[in-house]
Every structure is written in C-alpha cells, then in structure tokens.
Amino acid sequence: MQLIDGKSLASKVQSSVSAEVEQLKQEKNIVPGLAVILIGDDPASHAYVKMKAKACEKVGFYSITHHMPDTISQDEIIATIEMMNANPRIDGILVQLPLPKHVDTDKILEVIDPNKDVDGFHAYNVGRLVTKLDAFVACTPLGVMRMFEEYKIELKGQNVCVVGASNIVGKPMAALLLNADATVTVTHIHTKDLKSHTLRADIIVVGVGVPGLIKEDMVKEDAIVIDIGINRLEDGSLVGDVDFAKVSPKCSYITPVPGGVGPMTIAMLLSNTVKAAKGRV
C-alpha cells in the first residue's frame, strides 16, 4: 500500500505557480489577481477562504476578499461580481459555497465571466469539459487528475467508480475520467447496492461527506482509493468517507484525510488563476 501524498504534491504545484507568477511579472508586468466573495459567517467557509488567501500571498498573487453579511440581496451579490468581471486586475472570481438559502446559486455562478471562472462551475466551462475542449475545470477533480499523473496511475480502460454526483465534484470527476478513456460508473444517494459497484472497481473516487461510508468489504484487493470526503467528528478529528484503517491494507494506493486531496484543491485554484492571467488580452 502506498499513500498518495497530496500535501507534498500541492507544495510542488505551488512552487511551479510561483515561478510562473515571477515570469508573468517580469515579461508582461502582470500580477495574477484572485477575488473571493464570502457571504455569512460559516466557520468552515471562513477557514477555507483564509487558507486560500494565505496561499495567494505565498505565490505572489494580488487577492481580495469581499465579505458580505448573509442578509445581502442577490442583486447586490450580482452587482459585485459584475464589478469584478470589469476589473482588469482580477483574473479569477470565486464565490465561496454554500450560499444562503435566499440566493439562487446557479444564477450567481452564471454571472461570473467564464474567462474568470477559476472554480470551473460556469455552465460554459462545464460544457467545454464534457466535450473535451480546453476549459477551467473544478479544482478538486483537477487535483485528483494531477495526483494520477504524478503517481503514474494508468486510467485508460480501468473500471472507475465515482461515488457522489455533485456538480462540484462527482460530475466533473466523471467527465475527466471519461476523457482519459476510463470506464466510469457514477453512483449517488439513489443507487441500489453501492457495494456491487465499488467491488468491481479498479479505482474508487468518493466525495459525499459521509464518514466511513466505504468499508473494507466494499473494496477489492489492490484497488486504488481516492477519498475526497472531509468530515469533522464530535471529538474534533478530521476523517474522510473511507474507513481508512481497515480499507488501506487492501489498497495499492490510497489518499489520507487530511493531507490527501484537500491541499490539491487550493493548489489547482492557484494553477487555474495563473492560466486565467496568461489569457489576459
């Protein structure tokens, strides 16, 4: 069993981004800019945005956070996004999810200029991803693909089971795997007999937010398991969607939680923002 070390790979990606930022500054006098919209006081969202800001500072980005109360109107959020769409210093716009219930998330994401959609959630970019055209891709699935590349894990012809069908993780993950010529099964909350699907899989990618969902008897010998889930237990500890202690001995490769996919999400956000900066006209 080999651990896939997302922390060290993320550090490697960030070093590469730093070098690209320096090059952009010297050759084109461009400093990549990332703007984040944070609404409300959700502690997890605040912690995540803080981590993003710290990562931006480390690689030399210009970054700004618009912190708004959860009582803010949808029109005011849209006006802020449109202002950032028009701002030449901003290359990437990120709306921290989830949004308050009175806000239409789909409508908000559609307002973002697709060329600044570094989260890869705009329908334009999702459509380009599905049709195998160059696009901004959701950061977590993109990070998983970077892991496969780093560890030289062959995807062509492999049976992959994606557990979870969210727009943010499951669907773009499945599209990326299909584009890499894997045979993909997507399971979700209404799937009957999840175990029958995971047991056939050479690779399992899970991201649903259910601690310990994937058990030892659901994984075949030498499978590769990518755990995107991150859950905080009552004792304060962080765990994934996989029963790591019992599943890991059966795996050829597995990601830990924490220290697996999580750091890669922010690393790929930085990478997408540099890509957007390079596209400045």
pLDDT tens, residue by residue, 65-89 = 999 999 999 999 999 999 999 999 9
Closest of 280, 276, 279, 278 to residue 34, by C-alpha: 276
Amino acid 155 reads L
Mean pLDDT for 167-177 is 97
Q: Is the pLDDT of residue 42 over 90?
A: no
5, 14, 52, 116: the catalytic one is: 52
* pLDDT score recorded for residue 280: 84
Percent of the chain with pLDDT over 70: 100
What's the half-sphere exposure (Cβ side, CA atoms, 13 Å) at 189?
4
Is 52 catalytic? The answer is yes
Closest of 106, 41, 97 to residue 78, by C-alpha: 106
- The alpha carbons of the chain give a radius of gyration, in whole angstroms, of 19
Neighbours of 162 (CB within 10 A): 30
Ranges of CATH 3.40.50.10860 domains, the chain: 29-117
**Cα–chain center distance at 99:** 17
- What pTM was estimated for this model as a whole? 0.96
Cα(223)–Cα(202) distance, rounded to whole angstroms? 5
Q: Which residues pair with 2 in a beta bridge?
A: 253
14, 96, 116, 227: the catalytic one is: 96
Using DSSP's 3-state secondary structure scheme, residue 184 falls into strand
Using DSSP's 3-state secondary structure scheme, residue 225 falls into strand
The tokens 């780093």 sit on which residue? 150
Which of the four pLDDT bands, split at 50, 70 and 90, describes residue 62? very high
Mean pLDDT for 250-262 is 97
117, 119, 227, 243: the catalytic one is: 119
Mean pLDDT for 211-234 is 96
The domain made up of 29-117 has a fold known as Rossmann fold (3.40.50)
Element (H, E) at 269: helix 261-278
Q: What is the pLDDT of residues 122-135, one digit of tens each?
A: 999 999 999 999 99
Is 96 catalytic? The answer is yes
Contacts of 43 (CB under 8 A, 6+ apart): none
Q: Is the pLDDT of residue 281 over 80?
A: no
Cα(110)–Cα(106) distance, rounded to whole angstroms? 6
The tokens 């790979």 sit on which residue? 9
Is 119 catalytic? The answer is yes
Contacts of 262 (CB under 8 A, 6+ apart): 6, 230
Q: Enter the DSSP assignment of 97.
A: S
Q: Which CATH class for the 139-261 domain?
A: alpha beta
Mean pLDDT for 101-109 is 96
Ranges of CATH 3.40.50.720 domains, the chain: 139-261
Mean pLDDT for 209-226 is 97
